[in-house]
Amino acid sequence: LGEPLPAGAPPDPLVSLFLRRERRQQRKERESSPAQRLRRFLRRKFFLFRRSALMTLIALRNLALGRPAPERLAQEVAFASWRG
């Protein structure tokens, strides 16, 4: 990933698409207003805190009551990881 392509080798289309998307996202973030940056920062922190709190509660419940069925645990983890 970090190494340049050999001379004459065509770049992979998926890698090119990913790199274009990343550059566009970085440019968009650089050109955004301070209010948009603050909003994006707070949104990221909110979902990070939300996931941490939910996963902690799931872990404490599992310690107290035992581990639930794998399907239910998967649903709870998916809910905790949801980002709206």
Q: What is the per-residue pLDDT for 79?
A: 95
As separate numbers, helices (DSSP H) first and strands (DSSP E) second, the chain gives 3, 0
Q: What is the per-residue pLDDT for 16?
A: 85
Phi, psi at 21, each rounded to 5°: -65, -40
Q: What is the per-residue pLDDT for 2?
A: 66
Threshold 0.75, pTM exceeds: no
Q: What is the per-residue pLDDT for 1?
A: 57
Phi, psi at 62, each rounded to 5°: -65, -35
pLDDT tens per residue, the chain (84 residues)? 567 777 777 778 888 899 899 999 999 988 999 999 999 999 999 999 999 999 999 999 999 999 999 999 999 999 999 987
Domain residue ranges of the chain, discontinuous segments joined by +: 14-82
